[in-house]
Chains A and B, each alone.
Chain A
Amino acid sequence: MEPEPQTTQTNLHILPQSSYIDSLRFLPPISAFSRHIAVASFNSDTSIPSLTLHSLTTTPTLTPITSFTPSSRITSLKTTQSLIAASTVTGSVHILFPNLINGTFESEVNVPDNVLHSGRVSGLDVLESGGECVSVGEDGRVNVISVGEDGRVDYRKVFDGKGLVSFTAVKWASQMEFVTGGFGNCVQWWDVRRAGGPVSQFKGNWAQGATSGIIHSIDIHPSRKHTCLAGGSYGTVFAWDLRRPQQPIVLSGIDNGETAACISESDVWEVHYDTFMSASDHAKLSSKGVLPAMICSEDGILAVLKQGEEPTELLAENCAINCFDIDPHNPSDVICGLEWESIALLTRA
């Protein structure tokens, strides 16, 4: 078998902005040539946060279409077929229904500060089918928000940690289950039908003696709902299989003499399963291994990690890459939010 080349042909465009990019997401396309992205940004000169819809042309250029002012800086941003959900540092959650054909927000639902969470909402996720939205915060609360067809919201508290624990990331696993992450590389598996606490939990303390970290981001692949992918401090990226809860698969990070490569020693800000695959990748996929994962880090790296292989670096910037998103309909395209007030558009060949 000939060795797989570790380089990917990429085409990069950096689009300077005039505000700090907190988060960004692709929106579902309305036609083959028209793509839109949602960008959460913060203008530090005016101290005004905003959530802006941009149309992305092939040139490429970003043109702002419409914008919404949230109550404070956005901490987490998620999009589905029909809605955009955003959480803020002061504890509010905004749910917006965009109309991409008119370029407007049709309606919006706001849950004000201190209703769901007191203080920073650190993570938020929306079920792909719409409707249910789960939010977690540093205050240790876990809430599920239901958005009705008529735009009515209803929320209920799943858990109140009363500050004894803090959550930093969340992701739905199925209609009923979700996974949270927090301090000390802790990951918890929850079932909304079982109140009172997590179903299962895991503490990533393989880095004995070394300092422990924080989980910044979690992803779960729709085809493998029992495995979650988590990324956090000190370049840590691991997969946790609910069926083997005590044996995490470390993809990157400081490990106890294991073979995982360390792509970065800084915070891994976001992880997503990489849905862009070549034919040879498909052939190599087994039902056992972890699917390829894309990460972005504080030290400016955007890379694809594959179990048992050398990581593929897609970008090495001089500043942090704070967030990224893979176009779900065209997975060769990736957008990244760079620390130095710019958005990078990367196209893989």
Chain B
Amino acid sequence: MPGLLTPSNDTSSSIIPYSSDSTTPTVYTLNHNLKPPTTPRLSISWSRGNSLRVTVFRSPVTTDNEPGGKVVELNLSGEDVDSDIEINNAARWRRIVYGSVSPFAHLQNKKNALAALDEFRRSVSHDGDWSKYVLQYSKEINSLLGSKKSSPTPLIEDPKTVLKVEEPSSLKAAWELLEIFYADKQSHPWIPEQLVDWLSDYDVLFSGQVPSVHLKLVEFQAELINIQEVENEPTYWQAISSALAVGWLDIVVKLLRLHGSYQLNQLGTRETENGLVEAVAVLVSKMPRMRADLPLGKLGECYNNKSDFMRAWEKWRAQITKLDCSAFWLQCSHNQTKENLKNLLQILLGNTSTVSSATCHWVELYIAHFLYIRPFTSGLESMYVLAQKCIQLKPISTPHKLMRLILGILEENTEVVLAECSRSFGPWMIAHATELLTAGSVEAEILLKEERDNLGGISIEESHRLVYAQVLSSHALTWQIAPIYLISCMKHGVGLLEILLYKQPAYHSQVLLKNIEICRMYDLDSVSSTAMKIAGVHHWKHGRKGAGVFWLQQARDEVRLNRIAQKLFDFVGKSISDESFEQWEGLIELLGSESKTVGGLEFLHKYRDFKKSLQQVQDGVFTDAARKAGEALILLMKNPSTPQRFWLPLLYDSLKLLNWRERPLLNVSQTNMLLNKLQELSVARLRPDFVEAGLPPEALSSVRVALATNLGRAILEE
């Protein structure tokens, strides 16, 4: 697999991460009574999903109930994938799998439709229409990964609730990063602001591994209930400056208004102090921001045009500087308030060291740079340089997977991005993210779509889809989805689809019907007819003759139907002359009368008709019925599909017809034909493979006599 085997420092010896402490593997014992010596054997095979089955087979050392072998089932999965709670939950994970089918298939259809047009050249990625489709695809997938902050705001908001507790998924965080950089071309001028939003949604994800502003705020919120005068607490001011540094302006303003000077009983004595706090709060909430719009509840003033923004930015900074130099500070008696407010102004003015001490890890520092120091940064190259600078200021020994992904994107290194997606987020992510990557740049598109000899002639894109399809195939509820991904693989897709379909248990009726349906959709007639044959033989072997015949008929399997016919005739010979005719009705009805599809079985249909009319003759004396029965007999005897072994029983059954009292029912030529058949039968009897019908010994002679008599009467009549 491409890009998967990157050696990492921590797990240098294992290719697939396997932590033995996560779950105890299932162990089955094998008991056998084979006598030694038996050669010990070891076999390894894939079980369902990511489970690997290791079987050890050996002879017991002692005989006291020691098992002769063991089967161990190990669950292998990527460490990161496994540790994610949201992925661990299989049902929730399948919901994502199901939901992504439609956007993926829709995008492939669009791609094929565009490819069919002549105008569609290699410049797909620059086509406006195409990027619109890709963005739509990205948004649809994104919405599957979790709702975007849609939790309803409580009617009475608790003034002391600073943060809402939510658990976003790192998968969604990663997908949004890819969307920002590769899919959402329209919003490219606002990438820095998009990253600000991104961090405010997902900073919580870093908390598990490194200290973060989010963590700081959560801790402060827990303390808040017990604090009487917040402005005296250093943690209060730290929380405010950290929130300000990463641009969570609404939180900053909310916290500032908890300041003691707002309390009614203190307003008179702390008027200047309160004025300063409010001035800072207003400045914060008026911060100019270069973006199209702001979601409800977020603060700042939007400018979507660079020159307007620049003017507003300069004006805003001038106001800050003015406040910084104001004489009111001297009148402020509360020392902590004075110092910390000044500190906040330093952040707003972009003081590098203040910003650095207010943030926790390099991504936060990076965001702070965008907000207060270099709001005009654009272009991936300069963004990458800035990121490097931030990492130097706040180094991390083992970077978080999202940090690695951000760096890969900024570095414009598609291979790193691919490897990160694959390593941290698994086959689903990479199979779906390639669509965004190829839309992102021509280089990435060439890299992903180029056919490679080391991958067996397929492209990286195809190989990832095949891997994902393989994952889908291994689960009973998702294998039906795999064909949609396989069919989008030009080189090996159809071949693997056929293998997948052949591997399904065709004897399971629901699976068989699903199989046939998939074959119908992708024109795989030979595969479905094979499945029907397997099902037919299975049913036949298990005594369900009707179902067996039905499926073999559907598969138009003449050879097997003919073989089956011979076996059925054995049954018929024994049972149909009994009164158990009703049982056969259903099967004979199923066979129908068309000779083409049923092999030799059409005989049964005619035989049934003959038997019916013969029965009517026996019930009463009706010459008309007898004449019909005679005709049916001639038809049967003439028909080449009537097996030879039935000739004598048929004639013996119709003795009554041959000896019909009122008049001969058969004419001369008909009687001659029957006599010839009888002659043929006598010759055939000499052959060793002849099957004797279980009739009384005088049967042949009595038929012969009856025919001879009939011949005589017929000649006289004519």
Name B508's closest neighbour in chain A (CB-CB): A89
- List A10-61 residues whose CB lies under 8 Å from chain B: 16-20, 44-45
Contact B586 A319 (CB under 8 A): no
Q: Residue B583 contacts which of A18, A162, A188, A211 (CB distance < 8 angstroms)?
A: A162
User: Cβ of B590 and Cβ of A197 under 8 Å apart?
Assistant: no
A164 with B554, Cβ < 8 A, contacts A267-B513, A319-B98, A341-B91 known = no
Please state if A44 and B477 are interface contacts (CB–CB under 8 Å).
yes
Contact between chains at A318 and B590 (CB < 8 Å): no
C-alpha gap A266/B520 in the complex (Å): 9
Partner of B585 from A139, A201, A340 at Cβ < 8 Å: A201
Could you say which of A45, A140, A162, A267 contacts B517, with CB atoms under 8 Å apart? A267
Q: Which of A196, A211, A341 contacts B98 (CB 8 A)?
A: A341
Q: For residue B513, which residues in chain A have a CB less than 8 angstroms away from its CB?
A: 233, 267, 298
Is A221 interfacial (CB-CB < 8 Å)? Answer: no
Q: How far is the CA of A48 from the CA of B87 in the complex (A)?
A: 22
* B543 interfacial by beta-carbon distance below 8 Å: yes
Please state if B547 and A166 are interface contacts (CB–CB under 8 Å).
yes
Query: CB distance A211 to B554 under 8 Å?
Result: yes
Q: Tell yes or no: A186 within 8 A of B by CB.
A: yes
Contact A203–B592 (Cβ < 8 Å): yes
Which B residues between 499 and 523 are near A, CB-CB below 8 angstroms? 509, 513-514, 517, 520
CA distance A182 to B587 in the complex (A): 11
Supposing A18-B91, A19-B91, A44-B477 touch, asked if A183 and B592 sit within 8 A by C-beta, the answer is no
Q: In the complex the two chains form, is A265's CB within 8 Å of B545's CB?
A: no
Task: Answer whether A183 and B91 are a contact pair too, CB < 8 Å, given A163-B545, A266-B517.
Answer: no
* Shortest CB distance B530–A (Å): 15
Q: Bound state CA distance, A197 and B514, in angstroms? A: 32
Number of interface residues of A (CB under 8 A): 46
Q: Confirm or deny: A272 has a beta carbon within 8 angstroms of a beta carbon on chain B.
A: no
Considering only CB atoms, which chain B residue lies closest to A47 in the complex?
B476
Is the pair B589, A201 in contact by a Cβ cutoff of 8 Å? yes
Residues of A within 8 A of B91 (CB): 16-19, 45, 341
Interface residue ranges of A138-166 to B (CB < 8 Å): 138-140, 159-166
Is B101 in the interface zone, CB < 8 Å from A?
yes
Contact among B101, B520, B592 with A184 in the assembled complex (CB-CB below 8 Å): B592
Query: A140 contacts B553, CB within 8 Å?
Result: no
Cα A198 to Cα B584 in complex, Å, equals 12
| A212 adjacent to chain B (CB < 8 Å) | yes
Across-interface contacts of B526 in A (CB, < 8 A)? none
The answer to whether A265 touches B544, judged by C-beta atoms less than 8 angstroms apart, is: no
A166 to B544, Cβ gap below 8 A?
A: yes
Q: In the bound complex, what is the Cα–Cα distance between A100 and B101 (angstroms)?
A: 39
* Closest partner residue, chain B, to A269 (CB atom): B513
In angstroms, Cα B583 to Cα A188, docked, is 13
| Contact A203 B589, CB 8 Å, known A165-B546, A319-B98 | yes
A197 B547 Cβ-Cβ under 8 A:
no
Known: A163-B543, A341-B95. A183 touches B550 (CB 8 A): yes
Q: Per-residue 0/1 for B236-272: is the Cβ within 8 Å of any A Cβ (1 yes, 0 no)?
A: 0000000000000000000000000000000000000
How far does the alpha carbon of A298 sit from the alpha carbon of B546 in the complex, in Å?
A: 24
Given contacts A44-B477, A211-B554, A341-B477, whether A205 and B544 have CB atoms under 8 Å apart is no
**In the bound complex, CA of A20 to CA of B91 (Å):** 10
Whether the pair A205, B592 counts as a contact (CB closer than 8 A) is yes
CA distance A183 to B92 in the complex (A): 38
Is B90 part of the binding interface, using a Cβ–Cβ cutoff of 8 Å?
A: yes
Q: Is the CB of B590 within 8 A of A165?
A: yes
With a cutoff of 8 Å between Cβ atoms, the chain B residues found around residue A318 in the complex are: 101-102
CB distance from B506 to the nearest CB of A (A): 15
Kindly state whether residue A120 has any CB partner on chain B within 8 Å. Answer: yes
- In the complex, whether A219 has a CB less than 8 A from a CB of chain B is no
**CB-defined contacts of B509 to chain A, threshold 8 Å:** 120, 138
Tell yes or no: B475 within 8 A of A by CB: yes
Within 8 A of A (CB), among B541-558: 542-547, 550, 553-554
Interface secondary structure of A, over-half rule: loop
Cβ of A180 to closest chain B Cβ, rounded Å: 10
Closest to A164 in B: B587
CA distance A298 to B554 in the complex (A): 19
Q: Scoring B residues 551 to 592 as 1 if CB is less than 8 Å from chain A, else 0, what string do you get?
A: 001100000000000000000000000000011111101101
- Interface check B452, CB cutoff 8 A: no
The interface residues of chain A lying within 8 Å CB-to-CB of B543 are 139, 162-163
In the complex, the answer to whether A197 meets B477 with C-beta atoms within 8 Å is no
Complex: A45 Cα to B475 Cα, angstroms: 9
B685 part of interface (Cβ distance < 8 Å): no
A298 to B477, CA, bound (A): 15
> Which residues does chain B contribute within 8 Å of A160, judged by CB atoms?
583
CA distance A19 to B91 in the complex (A): 7
B517 and A298 form a contact (CB under 8 A):
yes
Which of A18, A138, A186 lies in contact with B590, CB distance below 8 A? A186
Q: Fill in one digit per residue for B584-602: 1 if any A CB lies within 8 Å of its CB, else 0.
A: 1111011010100000000
Give every chain A residue within 8 A of B520 (Cβ-Cβ).
265-266
Q: Which residues of A contact B90 (CB under 8 A)?
A: 18, 45
User: Are A164 and B592 in contact (CB-based, < 8 A)?
Assistant: no
**CB atoms of A163 and B582 under 8 A apart:** no
B-side contacts of A165, CB under 8 Å: 546, 583, 586-587, 590
Question: What is the 8 Å Cβ interface bit string for chain A, positions 212-254, against chain B (1 contact, 0 not)?
Answer: 1010000000000000000001000000000000000000000
CA separation between A298 and B585, bound complex, in Å? 31
Find out whether the CB atom of B586 lies under 8 angstroms from the CB atom of A161. yes
Evaluate contact between B553 and A212: CB separation under 8 angstroms.
yes
Interface residue B480 (Cβ < 8 Å from any Cβ of A): yes
Q: Give the contacting residue for A183; candidates B101, B477, B547, B594; CB below 8 A.
A: B547
Instruction: Verify if B94 is at the interface (C-beta below 8 Å from A).
Output: yes
Question: What are the interface flags for A190-209 relative to B under an 8 Å C-beta threshold, 1 for contact and 0 otherwise?
Answer: 00000011100101010010
Contacts of B475 in A (CB 8 A): 44
Report the minimal beta-carbon distance from A311 to chain B, rounded to whole angstroms.
20
9 closest cross-chain pairs (CB), A and B: A165-B586, A18-B91, A197-B582, A340-B98, A183-B550, A164-B587, A165-B546, A163-B543, A163-B544
Instruction: Give the interface of A toward B (CB within 8 A).
Output: 16-20, 44-45, 119-120, 138-140, 159-166, 182-184, 186, 188, 196-198, 201, 203, 205, 208, 211-212, 214, 233, 265-267, 298-299, 318-319, 339-341
Residues of B within 8 A of A (CB): 90-92, 94-95, 98, 101-102, 475-477, 480, 509, 513-514, 517, 520, 539, 542-547, 550, 553-554, 582-587, 589-590, 592, 594
Residue contacts A-B, CB under 8 angstroms, 17 given: A18-B90, A18-B91, A20-B477, A44-B476, A45-B90, A140-B544, A162-B583, A163-B546, A164-B545, A164-B586, A165-B590, A166-B550, A184-B590, A197-B585, A203-B592, A212-B553, A341-B95
